[in-house]
Each structure stands twice: as C-alpha cells, then as structure tokens.
Homo-oligomer: A and B are copies of this chain.
C-alpha cells in the first residue's frame, strides 16, 4: 500500500539523521523485547504477581506509532501496555518497580503491570477492561478541542477483541460526530485471548466498521516498524490538520500466550512459527544490515546498553521501598479541602 512505499523512502536515504532514526527504531524495539523477557522470568519467581500480558512480537506497533506523536499528544493504552510505556519514554525502572508493587513504581504500586500511568509524559494509563479506554480517549480529545487545541492528538491503542464491545462503536461515532482529534490504533493480533477474530466477528474487516461510524481508516503491516511509522505519521498528520479522528488497523501477532496464565491451546505451533519468520526485530535487523546501516559491533553495543537498562531497572525495583501500609487509604479521594 501507498504508506509502505512512502515508508521505504524514510529508510533508503543515507544521511546520518536517517541512520540514527533507523537505529533508534531498532533500539526501542529491543528495549521492549528484553524488558519483557526479563519480566517473564521474574514473574516465575513470584516477584511480579497478578496478570502479566506480554507484547513480544508486537513491538513494531508501539515503536512505529510513537514516532508520530509529539510530547503534547496524549496516549491511552490497554493492560498490554509495556511496549507503549517504554516507547513513550516512561523510565524502565519506574515500570519494573510498578510490576514489583513498589512505592517507586509509576503508579506507586497501586496498578501493577496492567495500569501504568505517567502524566508528565501524557501517558494516561493502561486500562484493564476491554474497550474501557476508548471513551476516555474521546474525553481527552474533547477537552483539547474545547480548549482550542485540536492539533493535540490523543492516540488510543486497543485490540481486535475490543471491536466486539459496543463502546468501540459508540466511541468512534462520538469522535467523528464531535470532530475530535483521536488517532484510533487497533492492534489486530488476530486473537482476543483464545478467540480468533473470525470466530468473534461476522465481518472481520475493521475498516468497514470504522467507515460505518464515519471514521476514515487505513491498514498497515504491524510487523514492519517502518511501515507502521509511515502509516501512523500519515494518520496523525490528518488528525492534526483536520482535528478529526482517523483509525489505523495494525496487523500484528502475539508470540507469547495471552497472559502468563494462558496455556495457549487455541492456536498451532505452525501458525506461531510462521509469524516468527516475520519477527519485527529480526527482519528489521536484516533489512538494516542489507542497507549497511547496521553491523555486529553496533548491534552488540545496542544490546549491551539495553541489557544494562533492564538490569538497572531490576536493581531499582529490588531495592525500592514498599508503600507503608498506613497509606492504604491515601489517594482514594482528595485530602479534605476547606469547605464553603
């Protein structure tokens, strides 16, 4: 598709700026991959508890999409939001500490893996109820529109499973009806837990659904970080210029089970293997090598730096304090304000 064409332009150039950007995309994807590989290990040691939803395999989506956003833009994500948070620049240590449940976590240990928040980075959180973040995105964009900033984009990530929820349609309609600057990002990884898209949707073409609600859309190969960046830049551009919503469907795949609790009985090893041949990181590395933009030395440097960042995050989490139990009821409501 045209965005793919447009995409390759970005990369084939050879000025350093392009090269730097290419390596940045690779590094960002690796940060997510290595961070989550460690998190999974730590989970087995019962230091991370509850739900842990890994993004491994989908890194190109968060990394590519995040390139299209400015610091003023707002982000709404799901319970599967490690990738978005890291790509947005939320410090790995505050994320790891959050998963440990430490007071130094990005949500003070109140949220865990599913509920990362970082308001300074306009990261408005991971939402655990499927579809539950979409109305929030509508509201953030409504506030920007009403406050005279239709150029601020609210990027809302959600999965293919969320399109089964009525809130998806209600939210798309409101965003189009009220002309709100929302960039709808549908991470179509083909499964909602164990339910394949074609087993939960009679019409699997998500762009038809968007059209029915008056939201223009595009579809992109979510395993190709360059294509994702191009498609999202194009879409974000439209949203920023028009102040109206746009939906991008990102075709991707989750390599790990839905969560650490999932026995993953509903898909074949072959299917997973087939998608692994399209690994967003491996394929991008090959591509960069082919374009002489990456060599072994550079790669191991990057891997080294990433490994250190993750190790530091774990140290930080391990050594961070717990929130005192006396604070249990803190932050439920505002501290009593003087009354009229």
Stretch at the interface among A108-116, A163-171, A247-255: A163-171
> Complex formed: what's the CA distance from A244 to B174 in Å?
30
**A122 in contact (CB, < 8 A):** no
> Complex formed: what's the CA distance from A166 to B209 in Å?
13
Within A260-299, the residues touching B (CB, 8 Å) are: none
**A139 in contact (CB, < 8 A):** no
Stretch at the interface among A42-50, A197-205, A317-325: A197-205
Choice from B164, B165, B205, B214 contacting A203 with Cβ under 8 Å = B214
Report yes or no: B209 in contact with A203, Cβ–Cβ below 8 A: no
Nearest CB of chain B from residue A184's CB, rounded to whole Å:
13
Nearest CB of chain B from residue A133's CB, rounded to whole Å:
15
> Complex formed: what's the CA distance from A215 to B203 in Å?
9
Q: Binding site of A, secondary structure by majority: helix, strand, loop or mixed?
A: helix
Output the nearest chain B residue to A204 by Cβ-Cβ distance: B214
Give the residues in chain B near A205, CB-CB below 8 Å.
212
Bits for A178-211, please: 1 = Cβ < 8 Å to B, else 0: 0000000000000000000001111101001111
Within A139-178, the residues touching B (CB, 8 Å) are: 164-170, 173, 176-177
Within A200-251, the residues touching B (CB, 8 Å) are: 200-203, 205, 208-215
Report yes or no: B214 in contact with A212, Cβ–Cβ below 8 A: no
> Complex formed: what's the CA distance from A208 to B176 in Å?
15
> Complex formed: what's the CA distance from A209 to B212 in Å?
4
Output the nearest chain B residue to A169 by Cβ-Cβ distance: B169
Report yes or no: A212 in contact with B215, Cβ–Cβ below 8 A: no
Q: Give the one of A166, A205, A211, A212 with max B CB within 10 A.
A: A212
> Complex formed: what's the CA distance from A49 to B208 in Å?
44
Q: Give the one of A167, A173, A176, A201 with max B CB within 10 A.
A: A173
Give the residues in chain B near A203, CB-CB below 8 Å.
173, 176, 211-214
Nearest CB of chain B from residue A213's CB, rounded to whole Å:
6
